[in-house]
Structure 1
Amino acid sequence: MLFKSPARAAESHPKQPPGAVPKPAAPWVLLSLSLAMLLSSLGISITNVALPTLAQVFQVPFQAVQWVVLAYLLAITSLIVGAGRLGDIVGRRRLLLAGIGLFTVASVLCAAAPTLGLLIAARAVQGLGAAILMALTMALVGEALPKDKTGSAMGLLGTMSAVGTALGPTLGGLLIGAFGWQAIFWVNAPLGLLTFLLALRYLPLDRPGHQTAWASFDVLGTLLLALTLAAYALAMTVGRGSFGSLNAVLLLAAVVGAAMFVWVENRATSPLIRWAMFSQPVLSAGFVMSALVTTVVMATLVVGPFYLSGALQLDAARVGLVMSTGPLVAALTGVPAGRLTDRFGAHHISLVGLMAMVMGSALLALLPVAFGVPGYIIPLGIITAGYALFQAANNTAVMSDIRPDQRGVTSGLLGLSRNLGLITGASVMGAVFAFGSAATDITTAGPQALAVGLRTTFAVAAGLILVALAFAVGSQSHSKRPVRP
């Protein structure tokens, strides 16, 4: 063979350990992982803009068509931890390639779906592929790149996630207008194929120890966790903001499922989650902080449109333009945030990011409506810049010192904490906004009521970030304590 891929060359080179990636391949490794992250985030944001069109095409109510989005999010939330653990067992490169292929094929099935039911089913399969992508991209950073470049890589992945979130609504609208709703799924086919080919060629080969040891995979624990998380996600999302008897039953099912999961894991020979992991203060605090921070980020997406349209009287186009400020700032800040993490350390940058988020949340809670659009954009920019700093630093801190055989499940847990924060933020922070505005129907609330709702929401948000700050300081001081003999 005249030309070997970097992964194959690394395997055969006598001076390099098995699976090592030569330095010239590092940019290509980052590109393939970044495209994988872009695919999964684009899959979330690009479909929201298509919901009104899908309701008309399939002649169904909006509540039914919402499942096109919900099925995808449920699949990711329920399966991301199991996908990470499976990658630890069978090999992360192998499973990531399967995930990219599954995501791409499911995208084609979505585009070809003749009925809403089949479209929702295909979206659930696409969500399974996205769960694999989200769980394993960060895990592969530790294998494919030097440790002193981890922060930069995490920053780049955060940037690609933000780009996918920001690009989705605009790209989706253009594609639907030009080619119809199917185009938002067809676009994933060439992008998925490119990602697959790059990953196949440049990602490091799985270590020889990786085997298809299905017997060591905790099937019962994975199933219980998936059902528990699905019940919680449904409890937080069905009912469109109202909490009824169905939500209560689902929440009770989630509590019972969590108790059963803990009982099963304590008796499993090869558990899905090893509780000893949470004895590491940086790791356990990282998961909690990630959930708290993403709860606040979700508040900007849920509350913002109502405030901008109702209190500031902006039309839909200007609301979309103002809302895109957040993802744009996050995209521009992601790579510098990663470099700052590599230079100054994850703990310091994490603190800076959290303090910026407290400042931005406090400004939104204090500034009067008279400040207009700048009074919303400036605090929003501070919040999202702080989020980008925190995300790059926290991801680096959590993933840096993990045992190689635990990288997949740890990355999956980190992704799960973010998803739980997003789901909780959409429901809880939406309820706080409604409570603060004292309106029975948010859509008909007056400007002053919406302004009070916004201030209440971000006063709570500032409190949540202060709790995250306490976890950051506490975990660092605890990790520095000398271990008693």
Structure 2
Amino acid sequence: MSPHGAIRRTTDAPATEAVTGGAKQAAAVRWALAGLSSSMLAASLGTSVANVALPTLAGTFDASFQAVQWVVLAYLLAITTVIVGVGRLGDLFGRRRLLSAGILLFTVASVLCALAPSLWLLIAARAAQGLGAAAMMALTMAFVGETVPKARTGRAMGLLGTMSAIGTALGPSVGGALLAGPGWRMIFLVNAALGLVTLVLVYRHLPIDRREAGTARAGFDYLGTLLLALTLAAYALAMTLGHGRFGRLNVALLLAAVFGVVLFVRAQGRADAPLIRPAMFREPMLGGSLAMSVLVSTVMMATLVVGPFYLARTLGLRDTLVGLVLSVGPVVAALIGVSAGRLADRFGATRMTVVGLGAMAVGAFGLSMSPASFGVAGYLVPIVVVTAGYAVFQTANNTAVLADVPPDRRGVVSGMLNLSRNLGLITGTSVMGAVFAFASGTDDVTTARGGAVADGMRATFVVAALLLVLAWGIAVGGRVSARRVARGAR
């Protein structure tokens, strides 16, 4: 063997090892993203899959529609009340450990839902399922910083957004198919099967927890977590009880929520290891991003509140066609999610946040001016613009917030992002529903004339467009402030 050959082999070996190592690392990232994507899919599917079964559950358990609505509400309330606390626990005690526990709870609770012999046991199991889903939503986003290179954070966030949209879109159709076949119990067994697959992926492919420097000394803010949970529960109930009518109970719960906020802020100022550091809200990026998320989620709920009535009452579509038209929005968001992530990586997350909000505002104004004579196309074209803008905004906003968060705060910040989205959805259900009913000029939208529903739809989206303009202004202001800070640093 010639010495030149020996030299060539010696020189090529490190290169070969580097290529092999790079391929293994890329495969590890793909499998980790598969686990995170499955977690997001399961949690979002759990949100939407039960809605279609409510009439069936009312008949099965001989219960009122108001009673069976708690099957959905219990899940949403559980997520909303604990998601920030769960994120913080993940920061302190290990995200993979807590995510695995959350998935296990979600899976076991799904089985209990399927086996529930009474409505109230089903509701209790749904609340437990929601607790598991809170860990899945908060910690899945927090894990991106540990598993994906920073330059590809936007794409990973786009993928998670895509899986969330797919879960939301699949829920009604999968639920309807299972109701027509095996029955409502199979809806929850599907959740259990998906949870089991997710648990295996997470256990095998997510990185083992490593305790960050300083976290061993950090404590958990039990008082702050309890106060926040009670405050959020009071607000969520104030916005959802009464079915569109704001009575004395709603006012009392809202006042309790305001009082809870005051107590929580005071407790955070005195705590040695606060759940949410008050200084975090003085950061323009985080505060603005959370405010925009609430506003945008409020608007997106308007499409779910108004859309079915407009399509059925004004355009006269049958239930099957209404479902197909409503699924277009989530499908568009799913198709655009990964591309939106690439755009955020290439052009900057803050810039794409502004672009996404601008597109949403244009689409909302389009809906507010669309005459019923344009038919389904007059509804779908603006909706496509709104949902495409939403996919861009959601991906860019999450990327901008989480890209530079210290490792020991990713869980709690991720929880706050998810919380802001849930608060927007809850607020949108009440506020945008009230605007729609008021503008339609009727107490019962289900029996309103098609023309009245069309008037209500247009007025609702005028309000939605104004909210989006406000969010766009916050985004532009944040971008200008960031430029000034950058210039000052130079």
- Which TM-score band (shorter chain)? over 0.9
Superposition pairs of residues 98-113 of structure 1, within 5 angstroms: 98-113=101-116
Aligned pair 1:257/2:260, yes or no?
yes
Residues 75 and 124 in structure 1, CA contact (< 8 A), matched pair in contact too: yes
Q: 2:134 aligns with which of 131, 134, 137?
A: 131
Provide the rounded CA distance (Å) in 2 between the counterparts of 1:261 and 1:212: 23
1:52 corresponding residue in structure 2: 55
2:181 counterpart SS class: helix
Superposition pairs of residues 281-300 of structure 1, within 5 angstroms: 281-300=284-303
Aligned pair 1:439/2:437, yes or no?
no
2:464 corresponding residue in structure 1: 461
Report which stretch shifted further, 95-104 or 185-194: 185-194
1:30 corresponding residue in structure 2: 33
Q: What displacement does 1:188 show?
A: 1.8
Provide the rounded CA distance (Å) in 1 between the counterparts of 2:265 and 2:443: 40
Aligned pair 1:174/2:145, yes or no?
no
Q: What displacement does 1:391 show?
A: 0.5
Provide the rounded CA distance (Å) in 1 between the counterparts of 2:386 and 2:210: 40
Once the two structures are superposed, residues 301-350 of structure 1 have per-residue CA deviations (whole angstroms, 9 ceiling, x without a partner) of 00111111111111111111111111111111111111111111111211
459 and 318 in structure 1: CA distance in 2 versus 1, 3 angstrom threshold: same
Provide the rounded CA distance (Å) in 2 between the counterparts of 1:45 and 1:214: 40
2:350 corresponding residue in structure 1: 347
2:416 corresponding residue in structure 1: 413
Percent sequence identity over aligned pairs: 63
Provide the rounded CA distance (Å) in 2 between the counterparts of 1:208 and 1:290: 30
Residues 281 and 476 in structure 1, CA contact (< 8 A), matched pair in contact too: no
Aligned pair 1:197/2:197, yes or no?
no
Residues 287 and 414 in structure 1, CA contact (< 8 A), matched pair in contact too: yes
Once the two structures are superposed, residues 281-309 of structure 1 have per-residue CA deviations (whole angstroms, 9 ceiling, x without a partner) of 11111111111111111100001111111
Task: Name the larger-Rg structure.
Answer: 2
Provide the rounded CA distance (Å) in 2 between the counterparts of 1:183 and 1:214: 46
Superposition pairs of residues 229-378 of structure 1, within 5 angstroms: 229-378=232-381
Residues 89 and 211 in structure 1, CA contact (< 8 A), matched pair in contact too: no
363 and 60 in structure 1: CA distance in 2 versus 1, 3 angstrom threshold: same
Provide the rounded CA distance (Å) in 2 between the counterparts of 1:90 and 1:208: 8
Once the two structures are superposed, residues 240-266 of structure 1 have per-residue CA deviations (whole angstroms, 9 ceiling, x without a partner) of 111111111111110111111111111
Gaps of 5+ in 1: 1-14, 16-20
2:385 corresponding residue in structure 1: 382
Aligned length: 466
Given residue 279 of structure 1, which amino acid in structure 2 is its aligned partner? Answer: R
2:484 counterpart SS class: coil
CA RMSD of aligned residues (A): 1.6
Q: What displacement does 1:23 show?
A: 2.9
Residues 212 and 407 in structure 2, CA contact (< 8 A), matched pair in contact too: no
Q: What displacement does 1:22 show?
A: 2.9
TM-score, with normalisation over the residues of structure 2? 0.93
Q: What displacement does 1:31 show?
A: 0.5
Provide the rounded CA distance (Å) in 2 between the counterparts of 1:143 and 1:52: 43
Provide the rounded CA distance (Å) in 2 between the counterparts of 1:445 and 1:122: 37
Report which stretch shifted further, 313-322 or 205-214: 205-214
2:455 corresponding residue in structure 1: 452
Gaps of 5+ in 2: 1-17, 19-23
Given residue 440 of structure 1, which amino acid in structure 2 is its aligned partner? Answer: D
Residues 354 and 469 in structure 1, CA contact (< 8 A), matched pair in contact too: yes
Residues 341 and 396 in structure 2, CA contact (< 8 A), matched pair in contact too: yes
Q: What displacement does 1:190 show?
A: 2.1
Residues 92 and 218 in structure 2, CA contact (< 8 A), matched pair in contact too: no
Residues 89 and 210 in structure 1, CA contact (< 8 A), matched pair in contact too: no
TM-score, with normalisation over the residues of structure 1? 0.94
